[in-house]
Amino acid sequence: MSKTGPGTGLGTHPYLLGFDQLERLAERAAKGAEGYPPYNIEHLAPDGFRITLAVAGFAEADLSITVEDRQLVIRGRQGDTADERVFLHRGIASRAFQRSFVLAEGIEVEAAALENGLLHIDLRRLKPNTIVKTIPISRT
């Protein structure tokens, strides 16, 4: 039986110092789990990724991509043209959306391109700098 609540999560394990944000990141990722728009995630060897979202009907001006606090957020909002047109059948969604992805430490957004109704966002894992730091011990 697992306990929940303050002081019982992964971030409180004595060997995982400073990982208390991990649970908050997982919660944020779960909030972006809505099914629209559909998307793919590809691994591009050796250290790249590509997120592709199906955004048919959206122009570049209708889309925004931001990264804040290791969270990639893609938003889409089309201008309302329904007043000008009379639909006999409306089966193509034109709703606004927000899709979020939590990025691991060292993952950077490299580029984004809109092509044939697909929004491609290329990500790259940066090579970490291995730093060894010697800490002097002083007498107190």
**How do residues 97-135 score in pLDDT, each as one tens digit?**
999 999 988 999 999 999 999 999 999 999 888 889 999
Considering Cα of 22, then 25, then 31, then 33, what sign does the dihedral take?
negative
Residue 22: is its pLDDT beyond 90?
Answer: no
Separation of alpha carbons 67 and 51, rounded Å: 14
- How many distinct structural domains can be found in the chain? 1
CATH at residue 118: 2.60.40.790
The answer to whether residue 26 sits within a structural domain is yes
Separation of alpha carbons 140 and 127, rounded Å: 39
Higher pLDDT, 83 or 53: 53
The answer to whether residue 62 sits within a structural domain is yes
Q: Which residues contact 42 (CB under 8 A, 6 or more apart)?
A: 49, 50, 52
Separation of alpha carbons 9 and 117, rounded Å: 41
Whole-prediction pTM: 0.70
Structural domain harbouring 119: 14-82+90-125
The answer to whether residue 96 sits within a structural domain is yes
Total Cβ atoms within 10 A of residue 51: 20
Separation of alpha carbons 88 and 80, rounded Å: 17
